[in-house]
Amino acid sequence: MEILKVRFRTNQEFAGAYQKELAYGGLFCPTTTPLRVGSKVVCELVIPALPNKILVRGVVRSWRPALPRLRVRAGATIEFAPEEADKRDFILQTLKGERPPAPRRRHTRLPVEIPVRYRTPESADFRAGGLSEISIGGALLLAEKLAVDTEVILEVTPPGAVSPLAISGVVTYHTAGGASGIKFHSRDAGGSRRLRELIRRLKLA
C-alpha cells in the first residue's frame, strides 16, 4: 500500500492544493517518487483544522517531476475514491466551519478493503461483510445495518495468514453511507499486539 504523507501548515495551503475539478475531489500531493497513472494510493493528511491525521484512498491521475529552474515541485494529482465521499465532505465542511471537528481519536484509522465474517453473540452463524477502515481502537464495518449498542464479533484473516483473528466490539454509530462504526472492546496485551501486527501486514499488502 503506497501511503503519501502530506502535511499542510495552514488550512489555506490545503485549499490551494485541493482539486475541485475532479469528479470526486482530490489533491496535489508533493512527492519525488514517480507514481503510475491509475495506481491506488492512500493520502495521509495533516491539516490544522482537524484534530487527527486522516487517511483517504485515491487514484493517481497524473505525476510530474520537479523543475527547479521554474520552481515547480514534483508531485502527483490524486483523485479521491468514490467511497471516500463522506470523509471528503467532512474535511471540506470542517475547514469551512460548517461543522465542528470530530473528537480526537487515540488511533488513526487505516483505509482498507478486506472481507470479514461477523456475528452477534446470540448467533453461531457468521455473515459476510467487509471493512473499509481499521485501527487499534475500532473499525468501519460494511454490512447490513446493525443497531447501535449491538455486540459483534469479527473474524479477519491477516494477509499471508491461514487462521482468522477474532475481534469483539460494539456498534457505536453509523455513517451517512450506512456503514457501522465498531469500537473494539478493551483488550489484553496479547490482543493489542495481534491487532498491531494485523494493521502492519495490511499496510504492507
pLDDT in tens, 29-56: 999 999 999 999 999 999 998 888 899 9
Predicted local distance difference test score (pLDDT) of residue 154? 94
Q: What is the pLDDT of residue 190?
A: 66
CATH of domain 110-204: 2.40.10.220
Residues forming CATH 2.40.10.220 domain(s) in the chain: 2-95, 110-204
* Distance between CA atoms of residues 181 and 93, nearest Å: 21
pLDDT confidence of residue 145: 85
Terminal alpha carbon distance of the chain = 6
State what percent of residues in the chain have pLDDT above 70.
Answer: 95
Q: What topology does CATH give the domain 2-95?
A: Thrombin, subunit H (2.40.10)
Under 8 Å between Cβ of 184 and 131: no
* Distances in whole angstroms, Cα of residue 177 to Cα of each of 10, 98, 132, 173, 174: 30, 20, 12, 12, 8
The rounded distance, in Å, linking the Cα atoms of 152 and 184 is 9
pLDDT at 78: 98
